[in-house]
Amino acid sequence: MQIGYDLEQVGYEELLEVFWRIHDPTQVNRQGPDVGDQYRSVIFDHTEEQREIAEASKRRLDESRRHSRPIATAIQPARTFWRAEEYHQEYLAKHGRGRCPS
């Protein structure tokens, strides 16, 4: 999922804090029962500044020992974003589990 945001409303660091809380960043190529490369934990940066902020945030989380395993989240340069097929859009809403964040 690609997330757009307004810097006047929320900072990049705040988005990273939410990102770390909403999933298990110690798992490699899986989230819960979902397994595969498409379920990997990764941050795609758009600028060198974002990369530096993301790396520092990851380092702080790892050093905090909040998780018993090392943080596996990769940080990579963003490339072309391809929107998923329509049947994947609003997946949770279509399957009776509420609205997906967009």
Model confidence at 101, in pLDDT bands (50, 70, 90)? low
Question: What's residue 21's pLDDT?
Answer: 94
| Residue ranges of domains in the chain, CATH in brackets | 12-94 (3.30.1060.10)
Q: Give yes or no for a contact between 12 and 45, defined as CB atoms under 8 angstroms apart.
A: no
The pair of three-digit structure tokens given for residue 49, joined into one six-digit string: 């500044």
Task: Return mean pLDDT, the chain.
Answer: 88
Question: What's residue 98's pLDDT?
Answer: 55
Residues in CB range of 27: below 8 A, 6 or more apart: 41, 72
Q: Are strands 74-77 and 42-45 parallel, antiparallel or unpaired?
A: parallel
Question: What's residue 83's pLDDT?
Answer: 83
Task: Kindly report, residue by residue over 45-86, the tens digit of the pLDDT.
Answer: 999 999 999 999 999 999 999 999 999 999 999 999 888 888
Q: What is the pTM of this model?
A: 0.78
